[in-house]
Every structure is written in structure tokens, then in C-alpha cells.
């Protein structure tokens, strides 16, 4: 696959020092959906709102992982194991649900309430457990879970032993997000599959989906699973035995064909081409706007809303400030446009709050907090002292709010670009 690499990459240590430059399936998929979406999210690093429907998948996955990690009694029967696992799943699911709901409500990036049907998503978790019990049962019988073929593997003598052997690998549910990513030896690509079963003698990669597989995102599943297969091969393990997606809103498991050598080579080529196009190894701003104009693709089977260029516009975080979308951002109002920032202050800005990042320790003892505003002149992000941003959040600033920030000061970079900071006189006004 090395022949697919068009340019020489930075050394692995550079990526270890700059982990934000690593690519993943998510970035590849975002660029394929629309280069303008990629620019908004990964080149300008604008922040986006979060919605409960994207958070509840973690509830399903984490509760399943905690049940899978349990250790049954040696004398347990399959019927007893299933009943106890279902009881533990309800406890784990309820705990994860409450924790995620409380965190969502407290998150300033949250849009809308936690208006989800507990029973619907618990049923999805139960279906995931049923799939796992099927793995345990097949392990006990020594047959392959998808083909039913007898396997040349050592037999197990008890249900408890089958449960332990069938247990899949997964990330630690208590680990910080993205802390257990697997990275290719070169450092420039990473991934984190949900489950990896190995009891059959090969590695089968499973992606969990808390959905029925009826959205445009579901159409990306083959690309996602083949990216995991690429990661397996690039890390020296060869191709996996199988690739599956469990859409837990429906009964059947989805099996994806393994990628061909040509598909793997094309995937690797696309990674390197995007790294070069985005200038990810050359520094901030080392890319051309012409390469990242909004040109959304059309997901098969999905029609765009009236005035939108693509069905993707309905979920794109840049839709409010994109000419391809029928949606529009708030007016500049009494503030100045992001494209006409003065080189001297003070001045005011107005816009809709898109979202917040996480507090970041820029240097020892110095914490900043990034947030993004949208208005008719575009999008702009700000990295201010974390205590200032925290104060604005306490005062009511949150995703979706229309705000005015007063008495701001500019900082002109040598390039001529202007950063905007608050001052001692800055005040937050909530307009709506």
C-alpha cells in the first residue's frame, strides 16, 4: 500500500506532538459530504451544537460494555446468564441514561431538551445484548456466529467460560474521549472501533448504531467499516475476519464485504490527498479556499429540503452561513461584520452562539475556552480566558442564543488577520 502515498509525511513524533492533525474516518466522511462542511469544522475549527439524539448512542454502547465486562458465576446456566445480564443491563442503562441526560442539560452547547423515549433506546440496548448472547451461545457450541460452520477452536466446558472467551475488546468506558485511539505506525491516521470479537480465531469488527439505519449517515457504513479494515492492515494484523454493523433499531445484523487491495489503496490515497489539500502538516491556514467551497454531494435516497442544495444541508453545522442552504443566520445588528473587523477598538459583535469547545490549558496555569458565533457575515470563533467564558455561560450564554458582545478589542496578526478578545468593559447581552 505504500505506493499510494503521494508525498512524504511528517515523522510519527510530529503527530504525537500534534494529535489534532491526525485523520480519521470522520474527517474523510465529512469532506466527502461537502468540502465546505469540512472547512467549517476542521480548518476553521468552528464549534457546533450537540443534540440529544447523537448523545444517546453513547448510553447504549456504554451500558452494553459494562454488562459484557461482567464475570458470571461458574455454575450459571445459559438461561440464568441471559436473565441476569438483562437485569444488569437495565441497571447500567438507567445509570448511563441519567448521567448523560444530566451532562447534556448542563452543557452550554446543547440544543433542545432531552426529549427521548427511554423504552425505545433501552430496547436497542437489549437487542445489542441479544446479539452478544448469540455470540456466547455459538462459542459454547463451537460454531461460527454468522455462517454456523463448526470451528477448529478449543472447546469450552461451561457457559461462564463461553462468556469470558466471547467477550469482545472495547475501549474502557471510563477512559477520556479519544484517549484509546489506535494509530497507524506513521501517526497520520487513527480509529476506534466499538467492538472487536476474537473468539472465532480471527478479528471481527463491529460498529454499534443506536438507530434503524434510515438516515443519510447510515449510508456511510461501508466506508466506515472499510476504514477500520484499513487500520487493521496498516497496524500489521492483516485484514479482519469480518466487518459488521449492528443497527439496533432493527433485528438483522449488517455484514460488509471486506475491502479489496484496490479499495485499500484508494482509501490510503484519499487520506494522503486530503492531508495535502488541507495543509495539515504545513500549519494553520495552509490551504486554498477554492478547494473547500460548499459543494455537497447527494446521499442516495434522500431529497433536500426546499431551497437546500443537498439533504446534507439539514445537518451541516455551517448551514446558517452557507449559500447552499436555505437557512439564514441573524443579522449583524448593532455590531460589525466578521469580514469588516476594525483594527482599533472598542467595537461590538452580534450573532447566534453555535457551540463551545472544551476548556484548554494553553500553557501551564493558562486556560482558554473556545466558542463560535454565526451571523449574516459568516462564522467566527474566539478563544478567551476560560473564566470569562464561564462567566458568560453562567449569565445565560448557550448554543442557539442570539447575543451581543460589547467593548471588544482587536489583535492584528503579522499576516493581517484579526483576532478578537474581550476587555474589562466587555458585557454580554442576551437578545433572544
Domain shared by 115 and 241, yes or no = yes
- φ/ψ (deg, to 5) at 77: -90, 165
Query: Domain check: are 262 and 359 in the same one?
Result: no
- 255 and 342 belong to one structural domain: no
Cβ pair 53, 115 in contact under 8 A? no
Residue 396 has φ and ψ, to the nearest 5°, of 115, 5
Range of the domain at 216: 19-266
- Residue owning grid cell 434510515: 214
Residues 198 and 343 in one domain: no
Q: Is 329 within 8 Å of 337 (Cβ atoms)?
A: no
Ordered DSSP codes for 166-190: HPPB---TTSPTTTT-EE-TTSSBE
Q: Which CATH number belongs to the domain containing residue 401 in this structure?
A: 2.40.50.140
For the stretch 17-49, what's the b/e string if a residue is b when 16 or more beta carbons lie within 10 angstroms of its beta carbon? eeeebbbbbebbbbbbbbbbbbbbbbbbebbbb
The pLDDT score that the predictor gives to residue 1 is 35
Q: For residues 225 and 258, give the distance between their C-alpha atoms in angstroms, rounded to a whole number.
A: 9
Whether residue 227 sits in one domain with residue 369: no
Residues 43, 130: one domain?
Answer: yes
Residues 232, 233, 236: CA angle, nearest 5 degrees:
95
Structure pTM? 0.94
CA distance to 24, 27, 28, 273, 410, per residue, from 11 (Å): 18, 21, 21, 17, 36
pLDDT of residue 281: 84
Q: What angle do CA 94, 95, 101 make, to 5 degrees?
A: 85
Pick from 266, 287, 302: which residue ends a domain? Answer: 266
Structure confidence at residue 210 (pLDDT): 97
Exposure letters 71-91 (e unless 16+ CB within 10 A, then b):
ebeeebeeeebbeebeebbee
Q: Are residues 181 and 55 part of one domain?
A: yes
Residue 325 lies in a domain: no
Closest CA to 410 of 339, 342, 352, 358: 342
Picking from 31, 8, 30, the residue whose alpha carbon sits closest to that of residue 272 is: 8
Is 322 part of a structural domain of the chain?
no
Sign of CA dihedral 313, 316, 317, 323: negative
Last-in-domain residue among 239, 266, 293: 266
Place of cell 426529549: 115
Other CB atoms closer than 10 Å to residue 284's CB: what's the count? Answer: 12
Q: Is residue 288 part of a domain?
A: no
In a domain, 101, yes or no: yes
If asked whether residues 150 and 25 sit together in one domain, one would say: yes
Q: Do 69 and 185 lie in a common domain? A: yes
Domain for residue 109, yes or no?
Answer: yes
Residue numbers of the chain with a pLDDT score lower than 70:
1-7, 284
| 134 is a domain residue | yes
> Among the three residues 245, 266, 287, which one is the final residue of a domain in this structure?
266
How many domains would you assign to the chain? 2
pLDDT of residue 284: 67
Beta strands in 7-160 (DSSP E): none
d(CA 385, CA 362): 10
Distance, in Å, from the CA atom of 312 to the CA atom of 35, rounded to the nearest integer, reads 12
Amino acid at each position: 500500500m505504500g505506493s499510494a502515498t503521494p508525498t512524504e509525511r511528517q515523522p510519527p513524533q510530529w503527530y504525537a506532538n500534534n494529535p489534532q492533525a491526525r485523520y480519521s474516518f470522520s474527517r474523510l466522511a465529512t469532506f466527502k459530504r461537502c468540502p465546505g462542511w469540512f472547512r467549517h469544522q476542521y480548518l476553521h475549527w468552528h464549534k457546533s451544537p450537540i443534540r440529544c439524539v447523537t448523545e444517546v448512542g453513547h448510553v447504549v454502547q456504554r451500558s452494553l460494555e459494562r454488562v459484557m465486562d461482567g464475570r458470571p458465576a461458574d455454575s450459571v446456566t445459559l438461561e440464568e446468564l441471559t436473565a441476569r445480564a438483562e437485569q444488569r443491563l437495565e441497571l447500567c442503562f438507567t445509570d448511563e441514561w441519567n448521567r448523560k441526560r444530566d451532562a447534556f442539560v448542563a452543557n452550554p452547547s446543547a440544543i433542545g431538551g432531552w426529549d427521548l423515549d427511554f423504552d425505545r433506546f433501552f430496547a436497542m440496548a437489549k437487542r445489542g445484548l441479544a446479539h452478544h448472547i448469540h455470540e456466547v451461545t455459538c462459542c459454547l457450541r463451537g460454531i461460527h456466529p454468522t455462517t454456523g460452520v463448526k470451528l477448529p477452536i478449543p472447546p469450552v466446558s461451561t457457559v461462564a467460560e463461553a462468556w469470558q472467551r466471547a467477550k469482545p475488546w472495547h475501549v474502557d468506558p471510563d477512559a477520556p474521549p479519544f484517549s484509546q485511539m489506535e494509530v497507524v505506525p506513521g501517526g497520520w491516521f487513527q480509529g476506534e472501533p466499538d467492538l472487536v470479537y476474537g473468539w472465532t480465531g480471527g478479528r471481527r469488527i463491529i460498529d454499534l448504531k443506536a438507530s434503524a439505519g434510515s438516515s443519510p449517515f447510515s449510508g456511510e457504513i461501508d466506508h466506515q467499516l472499510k476504514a477500520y479494515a484499513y487500520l487493521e492492515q496498516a497496524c500489521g494484523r492483516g485484514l479482519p475476519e469480518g466487518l459488521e454493523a449492528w443497527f439496533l433499531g432493527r433485528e438483522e445484523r449488517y455484514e460488509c464485504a471486506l475491502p479489496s487491495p484496490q479499495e485499500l489503496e484508494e482509501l490510503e490515497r484519499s487520506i494522503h490527498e486530503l492531508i495535502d489539500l488541507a495543509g495539515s502538516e504545513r500549519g494553520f491556514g495552509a490551504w486554498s479556499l477554492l478547494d473547500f467551497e460548499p459543494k455537497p454531494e447527494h446521499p442516495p435516497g434522500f431529497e433536500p429540503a426546499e431551497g437546500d442544495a443537498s439533504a446534507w444541508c439539514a445537518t451541516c453545522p455551517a448551514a446558517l452561513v452557507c449559500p447552499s442552504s436555505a437557512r439564514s443566520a441573524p443579522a449583524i445588528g448593532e455590531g460589525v461584520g466578521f469580514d469588516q473587523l476594525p483594527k482599533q477598538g472598542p467595537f461590538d459583535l452580534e450573532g447566534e452562539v453555535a457551540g463551545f469547545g472544551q476548556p484548554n490549558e494553553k500553557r501551564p496555569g493558562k486556560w482558554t475556552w473556545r466558542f463560535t458565533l454565526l451571523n449574516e457575515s459568516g462564522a467566527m470563533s474566539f478563544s478567551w480566558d476560560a473564566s470569562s467564558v464561564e462567566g458568560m455561560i453562567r449569565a445565560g450564554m448557550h448554543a442557539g442564543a442570539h447575543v451581543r458582545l460589547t467593548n471588544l478589542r482587536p489583535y492584528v496578526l503579522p499576516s493581517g488577520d484579526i483576532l478578537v478578545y474581550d476587555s474589562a468593559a466587555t458585557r454580554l447581552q442576551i437578545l433572544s
